[in-house]
Amino acid sequence: MDISNETDAPPPSDTRQPERRHVPSNPVYARVGEAVLASARDGVQRKLTPQDIIREIAVKHGVHLNVGELRLLLASRMVPEDKDSR
């Protein structure tokens, strides 16, 4: 009698979904990128005023934002790309 742990069942199939591309959730994030977003979030954590964050981003990254764009940037995230947008 064979007492091995082998079975005749097929190996488990890979049930992971194919990797989806992610895109920025708004045009400001798409324009300035991840590094500027990280700087903006860092400024918020350091409790800087919006004007100070904007000045710091302009000096560090050469990107000029207004307060509305800064708010939009801070609210942004990466979202899965729509199949229709390819």
Per-residue pLDDT at 2 exceeds 90: no
3-state secondary structure of 53: helix
- List, in sequence order, every beta strand (DSSP E) within the chain: 22-24, 78-80
Element (H, E) at 40: helix 34-45
Token reading at 42: 């860092």
- Other beta carbons within 10 angstroms of residue 3's beta carbon come to 4
Phi then psi dihedrals of residue 41, to 5 deg: -65, -35
Per-residue pLDDT at 86 exceeds 80: no
Considering Cα of 27, then 32, then 35, then 36, what sign does the dihedral take? negative
pTM value > 0.75: no
pLDDT tens profile 26-51: 999 999 999 999 999 999 999 999 99
Specify the pLDDT at position 81.
Answer: 81
Per-residue pLDDT at 52 exceeds 90: yes
